[in-house]
Structure 1
């Protein structure tokens, strides 16, 4: 159905363009280099035969594959993001193609003896005999989410070339800055005009997700007082040590490395400080809305307790909600999940329905009026040098998109 080399070439043409986003930039897109891939995608969408291809001043791309049926069919969309995370460099990506993977260690970087090993990354074992695309150990790969883009473009191209496959109107959307939580912020849902959509932004083959974390970011600021240490008794207030006390008061087991499934956590990801001032940056996550609210309140209560202990306000907390669990918006229209599940089974993929331990554009879009479950894009180990994607998983994702379009055409509007 889908030519393997064709999707490999397309994917590599995307990942070799650096599109790392920047959380410290107020612009949209947050980095100028995201335009490089955005403009390429606009040209490519036109070349494969899509209509109404647009890109706005913020680099949001939309395009249309017109219906080829006479009856009214729900308008569906497929969405992916073209930025890559700032957690690890996406510059000068040099993909490695591993044909007929033998199930053993893959040497990513001989110089540093860096290996992609099934003894550590057990998911590798299920891809023995397949074609893998890996990094060279010095960058991330960018399958998150350029695999999703490659799959959507390839599926649309296939549908254009095979008009015998009946489908309704399909909308395509590509966004910047998803990795810094802004991918949906300037997405024009009304202009997109879909009844529902799917983000192609999941991980391993079979993933189908309509639940995600409720998410917030918190900045805890501790104010100290710097005094010459030789004459500091009763005067010096060491903000670093008070910050340490704050850290120690949080539940030790409620951290990412000790939680799974629907279990929430507090994740301390950045510390900046000296005696005079220390800042702790947390992300707060929970699938359950009430537990999410309780977590945020705990951060506030701990600051209050430390302030009372020291007799003055030395700890402050700023909390900002980032996104919410899309389950609340998808459950009333669960047939859209059922269509994706049926499509997977029809092309020989066993659905893995589970909550996302993270976020996706789909969660924000769902709250903006566009219900948007998440379908696998095929990659593993995102955001670092051990990232890889099996080509066969990408091909199956293309088949799922095509089948979703076909099944939706059978659903009268």
Structure 2
């Protein structure tokens, strides 16, 4: 059995280390503090008995659990990221452990009246009677993706201590900067040496995902002219008004708060402006590649139309693709999804096969030649003060990793 106490102790030791990444940084990792956990993880992998433990100049960590069978088995991998999102502070995380959750409101922070309520977060109803780890309401928790790291390390430790479980060679990899879209940028797929891998970076217990958004980022710059407002008639051009025209010309209902499932969106996530210049930052998402390209074209055409309307270049746009739907790369090797699905069933989990409304390191790694479906890590409400993770979900994820290793060895036994 996977030790509940060890899972809690290991996970808490990770989340109290601040590893928030920074999209404005040009270094890898993007923040020096990510090294604090990276070095700890490298030492821990050595301590539990992993082989070939390495940490490179960019803080990418890799290690090997050698095969314990005589027959040839494909090398498989498990990957998670150790940075946390810059959307909400990850400094001074003080996790709270709620034993035998009673299904009612959880007071995260009495002084600030911050409540984690099943009336709003209905998924809490799934975990009545279980042990939850929450925030204190002032930070995120970091289950995205320190839960995944905890599960991978715990699974490797369990397999080392239980050699009766037969498996082929297993590689593990931990990456920085996933939350800012760079987690796979400097990941050396050849060095990793696996035929396929799984990211442990999903949410609800049972999730198994091999489809994700196609993704791009767009920066829209609007130029205005500032003159004294008392003498501005016919002279002033207020860039904020033109920016407002741009915003209002995009489909209002095709935004994150109005879409679900396979529906794509335009998301204005940052804006900064004055009369002279306004900058809008968007992300563009769609599962369908044709629709994705059409969304980019809508923004480009709107830019052209506004420039024609004003008779000069008042607006410019730069769009950069970020990642693509891994489905194209995983479907030709669907047996890797089938193994994960069977592993879940064998440990008593009902698989929930769904598309990711986001992306993981696995989406980029799949296009670098390492097919990489995504498996649940157990957390909920990522990137904010209401984040929590059921300990029982982390235990089950650890069991799934062990079972995937076992089933893969069995599948290739002659």
TM-score (norm 1): 1.00
For 1:296-335, what aligned pairs fall within 5 Å after superposition?
A: 296-335=296-335
- Which residue of 2 is the match for residue 151 of structure 1? 151
Match of 2:373 in 1: 373
Structure 2 equivalent of residue 276 of structure 1:
276
CA contact (8 A) 1:217 1:284 kept: yes
2:77 is the counterpart of 1:77? yes
In structure 2, the residue matched to 1:37 is 37
Q: Report the number of matched residues.
A: 413
- The corresponding residue for 2:64 is 64
How far residue 300 of structure 1 moved from its aligned partner, in angstroms, is 0.5
1:311-332 Cα deviation digits (max 9, x unpaired): 1110100000000000000000
Take 2:37 and 2:283, find their aligned partners in 1: how far apart are those partners?
30
1:190 counterpart residue number = 190
Other-structure match for 2:177: 177
What is the Cα deviation at residue 11 of structure 1? Answer: 0.1
Equivalent in the alignment of 1:2:
2
User: Is the contact between residue 73 and residue 409 of structure 1 (CA under 8 Å) also seen in structure 2?
Assistant: yes
**CA displacement 1:194-237 (0-9 Å, x = unmatched):** 00000000001000000000000000110000011111111000
TM-superposed CA distance for 1:411, in Å, is 2.3
Q: Secondary structure at the match of 1:410?
A: helix
1:110-189 → structure 2 map (5 Å cutoff): 110-189=110-189
1:106-136 C-alpha deviation (Å, 9 max, x unpaired)? 0000001110000000000010000000000
Instruction: Report the Cα distance in structure 2 between the residues aligned to 1:158 and 1:337, rounded to whole angstroms.
Output: 23
Instruction: Give, in whole Å, the separation in 1 of the partners of 2:412 and 2:12.
Output: 38
| Aligned partner of residue 389 in structure 2, secondary structure | strand
Partner of 2:86: 86
- Note if contact 1:155-1:398 (Cα within 8 Å) is conserved in structure 2: yes
1:410 CA displacement: 1.3
Q: Could you say what secondary structure the match of 2:303 adopts? A: helix
Alignment correspondent of 1:100: 100
1:131 and 1:412 mapped to 2: Cα distance? 38
Deviation (angstroms), 1:73 = 0.2
Q: Distance in 2 between matches of 1:231 and 1:39?
A: 61
1:272 is displaced (CA, Å) by: 0.5
Q: Following TM superposition, by how much is the alpha carbon of 1:412 offset from its aligned partner in structure 2, in angstroms?
A: 2.0
Could you give the per-residue CA deviations for residues 354-384 of structure 1, whole angstroms, max 9, x where no partner exists? 0000010000000000000000000000000
The separation in 2 between residues aligned to 1:412 and 1:107, in whole angstroms, is 50
Q: Does 1:404 align with 2:371?
A: no
Q: Helix, strand or coil for the counterpart of 2:71?
A: coil
**Whole-Å Cα distance in 1 between the matches of residues 410 and 164 of structure 2?**
14
Partner of 2:21: 21
> Would you say the 8 A contact 1:74–1:411 is kept in 2?
no
In the alignment, is residue 342 of structure 1 matched against residue 342 of structure 2?
yes
Q: Output aligned runs, 1:352-367, within 5 Å.
A: 352-367=352-367
Structure 1 residues 125-158: Cα deviation after superposition (integer angstroms, max 9, x where no partner): 0100000000000000000000000000000000
Q: Deviations over 1:139-183 (max 9, x none)?
A: 000000000000000000000000000000000000000000000
Alignment partners' CA distance in 2, 1:269 and 1:342? 39
Aligned equivalents of 1:245 and 1:44: distance in 2? Answer: 54
**Are the aligned partners of 1:89 and 1:140 in contact in 2 as well (CA < 8 Å)?**
yes
Give the 5 Å matches for 1:206-285.
Answer: 206-285=206-285
* Partner SS for 2:393: helix
Give the unaligned 5+ runs of structure 1.
Answer: none
Q: Distance in 2 between matches of 1:261 and 1:189?
A: 31
| Structure 2 residues not aligned, in runs of 5+ | none
- TM-score by structure 2 length? 0.99
User: Within 1, Cα distance between the matches of 2:125 and 2:165?
Assistant: 35
What secondary structure sits across from 2:411 in the alignment? coil
Whole-angstrom distance in 2 between the partners of 1:410 and 1:332: 21
